[in-house]
């Protein structure tokens, strides 16, 4: 059984049934190719805990160290990772980080801030939003909280000429209306993808009412291929990876907590992911979707093409335990 078949148990004839009408490719949220001549910059900052002051300082430092978007007067959509909820395991992006980010964006005079997620397999988003604390954050901060699984959507053409069988994606209006889209994933291992960071987090923008729960159409298409194509279609303007406490082992749901004590921030999701992978003790070139993303022109994952500002990767490296199936992702010297 191939990996693609195995995760499908978790589907590509369905694609033929999706409506193929207008392809409104236009607008800032759709993905232009990055300029290969400009090195990516990643802000890597220490963040020892989820205390409000610690988070505020780390976000401020990381924002300064990286190449952040201009959010003043803009509609900003924050996409955290809410794969599920457990009181005992750090599955989701910590709501305290999200709240600190909202306050940071307000201070920068963002016009509108929206918090949006489409959880993958549990359709009870109301309860998930409440248990994870996102509902309370939205109320306290007076911002909209959107369940992307039931958001109105439009088909957008997949511009990758070497795309997988997914020729279009149904992208929620909330995402299409974003002038700035910020992906805020949790630093986790993943039982099918190896690791899940900013690029993989974008699975959650696709509406369950079109793709199912779990978003099985994407599984049958191939997880690496889908990750690559979604990110080639929808632009993430900035990534903030929650590595304060991540998850190692049998992630993204059933693993165990692993404290890395960092935030990884950058305008290139691929560069941020590659840096986070290195922190986790994973060679990014051995993560299939990252290698695919590089080949598809979504940026570079090579260390020499990424300027890491702030802490040094070597200093904060925190080897995350990997499911034995993914032991091959370790850099050769540490195997």
Partner 1 sequence: MSSATLPRTLGFIRAGQNEDGGWGYRPGGASWVEPSAFCAMALLAGGDRAAAGRGLALLKACQSASGGMGVSPKDQGGGWMAYAALLAYHAFGAEAEAARLIGWILGLEDASRRFAPADIQSIARTYRYDASIPGWPWTPGTTAWVEPTAMFILALTRAGVASTEPRIQAGLRLLIDRRVPSGGWNFGNPFSKAHELEATLLSTSLALAALSAAGTPATKPAVEAGLRFIEARLAGDVSTVSLAWTLIALLSIPAGDRLVPGVSARLAGLAGTDGGFRGNLFESALAFLALEDASRIIRVPGKGP
- In whole angstroms, how far apart are CA 104 and each of 71, 179, 183? 10, 17, 15
Q: Which is nearer to partner 1, 6 or 107 (CB)?
A: 6
Q: Kindly state the smallest distance separating residue 93's Cβ from partner 1, in Å.
A: 20
| Residue 79 contacts residue 116 (beta carbons within 8 Å) | yes
Binding-site string for partner 1 from residue 238 to residue 277, where x marks contact by CB under 8 A and - marks none:
------------x--xx-----------------------
Q: How many angstroms from the chain centroid is the CA of residue 234?
A: 12
- Exactly one of 136, 209, 245, 321 binds partner 1 (CB under 8 A); that residue is 209
Find the shortest distance in angstroms from Cβ 177 to partner 1. Answer: 13
CB atoms within 10 A of CB 123: 15
**Candidates 32-40, 62-70, 121-129, 272-280 — which segment interacts with partner 1 by CB under 8 A?**
121-129
CB of 325 to partner 1, least distance (A): 11
Q: Which is nearer to partner 1, 170 or 278 (CB)?
A: 170
Residue 257 CA to residue 149 CA, distance in Å, equals: 28
Query: Are the C-beta atoms of residues 82 and 119 closer than 8 Å to each other?
Result: yes
Q: Which is nearer to partner 1, 195 or 290 (CB)?
A: 195
> Residue 119's CB: how many other CB atoms inside 10 A?
24
Q: Which of 188, 190, 191, 235 binds partner 1 (CB under 8 A)?
A: 191
**Helix H or strand E encompassing 141:** helix 134-141
Q: If binding is defined by CB under 8 A, does position 165 make contact with partner 1?
A: no
For residue 101, give both structure tokens: 């980010």
Angle (CA) 280 265 143, round 5°: 120
Two tokens at 302?
Answer: 């090579």
Binding residues (CB under 8 A) for partner 1: these are 1, 5-6, 8-14, 16-19, 21, 121-124, 126-127, 130-131, 150, 152, 191, 208-214, 216-217, 219-220, 250, 253-254
């Amino acid at each position: 059984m191939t990996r693609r078949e195995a995760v499908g148990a978790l589907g590509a004839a369905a694609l033929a049934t999706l409506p193929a009408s207008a392809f409104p490719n236009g607008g800032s949220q759709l993905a232009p190719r990055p300029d290969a001549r400009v090195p990516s910059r990643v802000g890597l900052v220490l963040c020892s805990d989820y205390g409000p002051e610690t988070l505020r300082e780390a976000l401020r430092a990381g924002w300064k160290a990286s190449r952040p978007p201009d959010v003043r007067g803009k509609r900003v959509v924050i996409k955290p990772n809410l794969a599920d909820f457990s009181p005992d395991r750090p599955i989701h992006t910590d709501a305290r980080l999200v709240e600190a980010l909202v306050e940071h964006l307000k201070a920068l005079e963002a016009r509108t801030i929206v918090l949006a997620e489409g959880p993958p397999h549990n359709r009870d988003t109301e309860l998930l939003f409440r248990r994870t604390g996102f509902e309370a954050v939205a109320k306290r901060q007076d911002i909209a909280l959107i369940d992307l699984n039931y958001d109105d959507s439009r088909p957008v053409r997949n511009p990758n000429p070497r795309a997988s069988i997914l020729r279009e994606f149904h992208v929620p209006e909330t995402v299409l209306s974003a002038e700035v889209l910020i992906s805020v994933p949790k630093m986790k291992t993943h039982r099918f993808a190896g690791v899940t960071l900013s690029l993989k987090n974008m699975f959650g923008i696709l509406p369950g009412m079109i793709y199912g729960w779990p978003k099985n159409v994407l599984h049958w298409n191939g997880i690496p291929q889908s990750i690559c194509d979604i990110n080639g279609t929808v632009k993430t303007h900035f990534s903030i990876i929650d590595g304060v406490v991540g998850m190692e082992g049998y992630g993204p749901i059933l693993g165990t907590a692993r404290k890395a004590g960092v935030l990884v921030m950058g305008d290139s999701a691929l560069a941020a992911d590659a840096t986070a992978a290195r922190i986790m003790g994973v060679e990014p070139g051995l993560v299939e979707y990252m290698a695919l993303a590089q080949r598809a022109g979504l940026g570079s994952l090579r260390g020499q093409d990424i300027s890491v500002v702030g802490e040094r990767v070597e200093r904060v490296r925190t080897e995350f335990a990997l499911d034995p199936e993914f032991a091959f992702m370790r850099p050769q010297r540490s195997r």
